[in-house]
Amino acid sequence: MNRPLVNPLDKDANPQAKKMSSFYEETLGFTPNSLFTMMHRPRIAEAFVEMNQAVMENKGRVTSALKRLIAYISSMTTGCRYCEAHAIRAAERYGSEEDKLRHIWDYKTYPAFSEAEKAAFDLAVAASSVPNGVDDTIADNMRKYWDEGEIVEIMGVIALFGYLNRWNDSMGTQLEGPAADDGKKLLGANNWEVGKHNYQR
């Protein structure tokens, strides 16, 4: 794309935009352009922030770091480079071990990942595929390691990032510098690149 489909508002454009930016300052260290694109219709942005807070709330075994790794796997499956960079940055900020960050592409065979994590990542790949690939084998494996509430949490992350993947790849959202830097640092060895989300050509 030559430019984003819709330009984000300035974060100081109105009081609502200023208020919403504070949530992401803690999560990512900056407020994403995607939110300020949504701010053209503030109710969409507000609903998204509420959903994001509810989905990412830490309830126990599905940790904040694991949720971000699930978000990364989901985004990798759909091919949204913007969301991949955001998710891997957030996973690092929320305490994911560097060993896992650097070997997330190899989760099926890499020994640092537990069987429960592998089950969650398999669900993320299957649920993020088109057509959807969730079958009895994946469902049975999830039930083996996670209770129903935890499965709801995990599916919440996958569904939230399904929305974000569609939004940001279709909008061609400009990737912010800190997320681009982390994408290159943590994912570059696996041929990650900014792709369509870079307009500094």
Nearest one of 165, 76, 86, 85 to 125, comparing CA atoms = 76
Contact predicate 197/175, CB 8 Å: yes
Structure-block tokens of residue 184? 């290159």
Q: What is the identity of the amino acid at 34?
A: S
Is residue 50 scored above 90 in pLDDT? Answer: yes
- The percentage of residues in the chain with a pLDDT greater than 70, rounded to a whole number, is 99
Average pLDDT estimate for 94-102: 94
Average pLDDT estimate for 137-163: 98
Question: Cα separation of 43 and 133, whole Å?
Answer: 32
Cα angle for residues 66, 82, 91 (degrees, 5° grid) = 20
Band (pLDDT 50/70/90 cuts) for residue 57 is very high
Q: Which residues contact 146 (CB under 8 A, 6 or more apart)?
A: 61, 62, 116, 119, 120, 154
Contact predicate 161/51, CB 8 Å: no
Query: What one-character-per-residue DSSP string does 40-93 give?
Result: TSHHHHHHHHHHHHHHH---SSS-HHHHHHHHHHHHHHHT-HHHHHHHHHHHHH
pLDDT confidence of residue 11: 76
pLDDT confidence of residue 19: 74
Question: Cα separation of 163 and 141, whole Å?
Answer: 25
Question: Cα separation of 194 and 184, whole Å?
Answer: 8
Chain centroid to CA 82: how far? 9
Is residue 170 scored above 70 in pLDDT? Answer: yes
Element (H, E) at 101: helix 98-102
Cα angle for residues 22, 38, 165 (degrees, 5° grid) = 100
Average pLDDT estimate for 156-160: 98
With 0-12 / 13-18 / 19 or more C-beta atoms within 10 angstroms meaning exposed / middle / buried, residue 89 is: buried
Which has more pLDDT, 5 or 27? 5
Is residue 201 scored above 60 in pLDDT? Answer: no
Average pLDDT estimate for 131-153: 98
With 0-12 / 13-18 / 19 or more C-beta atoms within 10 angstroms meaning exposed / middle / buried, residue 128 is: buried
List domains and CATH numbers for the chain.
Answer: 63-192 (1.20.1290.10)
- The percentage of residues in the chain with a pLDDT greater than 90, rounded to a whole number, is 83
The mean pLDDT value of the chain amounts to 93
Angle between helices 42-56 and 64-78 (to 10 degrees): 120
Is residue 86 scored above 90 in pLDDT? Answer: yes
